[in-house]
Amino acid sequence: MTSTTDTALPTPAPTLDVARIRADFPILGEQVNGRPLIYLDSAATSQKPQQVLQAEYDFLTHANAAVHRGAHTLAADATDLFEDARTTVAGFVGAPAEQLVWVSGATMGLNLLAYAFGNATAGRGAPASARFALKPGDEIVTTAIEHHANLIPWQELAARTGAVLRHIPAHADGTLDLDAAASIIGPRTRVVAFTHVSNVLGIINPVDQLIALAREVGAVTVMDACQSAPHLPLDLPALGVDFAVFSGHKMLGPYGVGGLYGRAEMLDALPPFLTGGSMITTVTLDTAEYLPAPQRFEAGTQPVGPAIGLAAAVRYLEDVGLDAIHAHEKALAARMREGLADIPGIRLLGDAEGSERVGLWAFDVEGVHAHDAGQFLDDRGIAVRVGHHCAAPLHRQYGVTASVRASAALYNTADEIDELVDAVRGIRAYFGVES
Amino acid sequence: MSDLDTLYRELILDHSKHPQHFGLADEDGVHATSHQVNPTCGDEITLRARVESDGDTIRDVTWEGSGCSISQASASMLSDLAVGLTRTEARELIDGFREALRSRGQMELDEDVYGDAAALTGVSKFSARVKCAMLAWVALEDALARA
């Protein structure tokens, strides 16, 4: 253990009562391989507090019915709870309810946008939809650090429309090259899609600057907020981004639900992607007219229970306080960095001097494959992610196919970080790699 | 022995550090090459099987790639083991290996049949690692089907 140097290590802000928080997460009491679970894989999926499970249970045992149809009491109760959940989750990102579309997750939200832009290109939608239409030679700009979910939908859209996909490069320290961004984002740019926080690097990107560059040329901005929504206070309207997506299961919520935020004029102009029931006004055998946003984008049965669970999750985050959560996780990240950076053969990815961060680090263990390193940690009850974390191009830039990623959340403790660091110190010796 | 030690037997670490038959042989005679990727971690293998002029006996198996110690050791062990087998024998070997690895610790690999590769028995308790161990075996199966 590292107790001798404890006083020198960054200690999380005392404002967070982690012991009380942990009591709300039953799974954190599990044993793994005979050791207490140390869950450091929240960037992949967070654990869910009792309050979220209870909210879904209460809905299913007291109010479950089909929403937005039927006139019976349960149907009305269910519709109220579902729409209240929308108001709560929209409010969590600073938006009014009608600017929040339910999606199954960020991947669905990004595909919805890419396919809706494609539909606009095909001439579908209202006259205002033409603003999203792409023609050969138009440019879609992403970055070199995106999760595949914010890359492949744009590759496909470019291939369908003849638009050109360009990438803002990243410096070796993981920060985006803003000079390059300023020269890449130009008169041909129609869409700029970027992540708020990379799921590999943990660096909070200067997204306000990207939005400003895109605004100057009239490009539509799309932000992946998956790794920021659970960790930072967000005010999307104040940020000025046109669209943003987040996944419920990464922010203490259930699987199968997430949010797509859009500025009002953007959502109003956007043609639908999925069509069918619940998104129409009048239908004939040959044509249909559509409801306004957000219903226009919510064809078919919605994840009602999970949406209500997600509302409970964001209430939980708000009750603890996003500023306190960020301060806590920032201190955990700093503690992790100090411990890991000292270990011979450990290379941190995205170790940018002075960058603002969330509580995650990905690292390479020289001479040991990430899978083997992760197996060693698992034997000590420590759950981390190994692999390319759905960001293969970024790993290629660092000259590795895979890395180990430890990601913290509000329920992690400084002691757990010390256990991780202590365990990582033993990896290379176990696999017989000279240090 | 801890579960971790049954996974990472000395033999496995030896093979992964000193892989056998690493480096692809020339493309001559009856041969085929298979490229396999483990999509969760991006590990890759390119494996080439060459068949004797009788069209049935495996002349040699060579490979290159990168991956975890389990996948590298498994490829090394397999390429030792496969030389001289007929197509049918190889198929039976691969089927038996797959069955044991998917058994969640219920089946053991016979050392008389599998040689060094019997040390991979412990992998079957770690379902997340079965794909790592299978990578080269799937590549050989694919290559033989096309050679």
**Whether residue A306 has a cis bond before it, omega within 30° of 0:** no
Which residue among B40, B66, B69 sits closest to A372, beta carbon to beta carbon?
B69
Number of domains in chain B: 1
Closest by CA position to B33, among listed B72, B71, B65, B73: B65
Least confident of A62-76, A86-100, A138-152: A62-76
Answer yes or no: do A385 and A349 share one domain.
Answer: yes
Q: Answer whether residue A2 shows pLDDT above 90.
A: no
Which pLDDT band, with edges at 50, 70 and 90, does A5 fall under?
very low
Instruction: Please report, for the domain that includes residue A367, its CATH number.
Output: 3.90.1150.10
Predicted confidence at residue B43, as pLDDT, reads 85
Kindly report the nearest CA distance between residue B3 and chain A, in angstroms. Answer: 8
Same domain, yes or no: A312 and A340 = no
Per-residue model confidence (pLDDT) at position A15:
76
Give me the residues of B, 60-79, that contact A with CB < 8 A: 66-70
Bridge partner residues of A244 (DSSP): A223, A261
pLDDT given for residue A12 in this prediction: 65
The confidence score (pLDDT) of residue A264 equals 97
Interface contact flag, A388 B41, Cβ < 8 Å: yes
Q: Give percent of chain A with pLDDT exceeding 70.
A: 97
Closest by Cβ to B132, choosing from A371, A392, A401: A371
pTM: 0.94
- Whether A14 shows a pLDDT value over 70: the answer reads no
As for how many domains chain A has, the answer is 2
Predicted confidence (pLDDT) at residue A303 exceeds the cutoff of 50: yes
Q: Is the pLDDT of residue B71 over 50?
A: yes
User: A376, A395, A401: best mutation site toward chain B, by most B Cβ within 10 Å?
Assistant: A401
Report the amino acid identity of residue A318.
E
Q: Are residues A385 and A340 in the same domain?
A: yes
Residue type, A290: Y
Residue A377: closest CA among chain B residues belongs to which residue? B4
Q: Do residues A91 and A215 both lie within one domain? A: yes
Parent domain of A382: 3-48+321-430
From A318, A336, A371, the end of a domain falls on: A318
DSSP state of B11: H
pLDDT given for residue A318 in this prediction: 98
Q: Look at residue A6 and tell me whether its pLDDT is greater than 60.
A: no
Interface predicted TM-score of the whole assembly (ipTM), two decimals: 0.91
> Residue A331: CB partners within 8 Å, gap ≥ 6?
A10, A11, A12, A13, A414
Q: For residue A312, what is the domain's CATH number?
A: 3.40.640.10
Residue A178 located in a structural domain? yes
Domain match, A248 and A132 both: yes
- Name the domain boundary from A318, A340, A358: A318
Q: Over pLDDT 90: what percentage of chain A?
A: 94
Bridging pattern class, strands A38-39 and A403-407: unpaired
Does residue A99 form part of some domain? Answer: yes
For residue A13, what pLDDT is reported?
58
Please give the residue range of the domain that contains residue B13. 3-146
Mean pLDDT of A216-243: 98
Whether the CA torsion A390, A396, A397, A398 is positive or negative: it is positive
Q: Is residue A390 flagged as an active site residue?
A: yes
Both structure tokens of B2: 């801890």
Confidence of residue A3 (pLDDT cuts 50, 70, 90): very low
Q: What's residue A435's pLDDT?
A: 53
pLDDT(A93) > 90: yes
What single DSSP character describes residue B86?
B
What is the distance between the alpha carbons of residues A102 and A300, in angstroms, rounded to a whole number?
12
- Whether the pLDDT of residue A147 is over 80: the answer is yes
| E strand residue ranges, A71-195 | 100-103, 139-143, 164-168, 189-195
Query: For residue B68, what is the domain's CATH number?
Result: 3.90.1010.10
pLDDT, residue A8, reads 61
Higher pLDDT, B68 or A11: B68
Residue A55 falls inside a structural domain? no
Look at residues A278, A300, A318 and tell me which one is the last residue of a structural domain: A318
**One domain, residues A229 and A243:** yes
What value does the mean pLDDT of chain A take? Answer: 95
Tokens of B129: 């690692």
Residue A291 DSSP class:
P
Decide: residue A392, CB within 10 A, 0-12 exposed, 13-18 middle, 19+ buried. Answer: middle
Eight-class DSSP state of A204 = B
Q: What is the mean pLDDT of residues A165-173?
A: 97
- Give the count of beta carbons closer than 10 Å to the beta carbon of residue B88: 9
**pLDDT score for A394:** 95
The rounded distance, in Å, linking the Cα atoms of A347 and A343 is: 9
The reply to whether A349 and A393 lie within a common domain is yes
B44 touches chain A (CB under 8 A): yes
pLDDT at B81 over 50: yes
**Same domain for A341 and A248:** no
| Of residues A245, A237, A238, A239, the one with CA closest to residue A263 | A237
Q: What is the mean pLDDT of residues A347-376?
A: 95
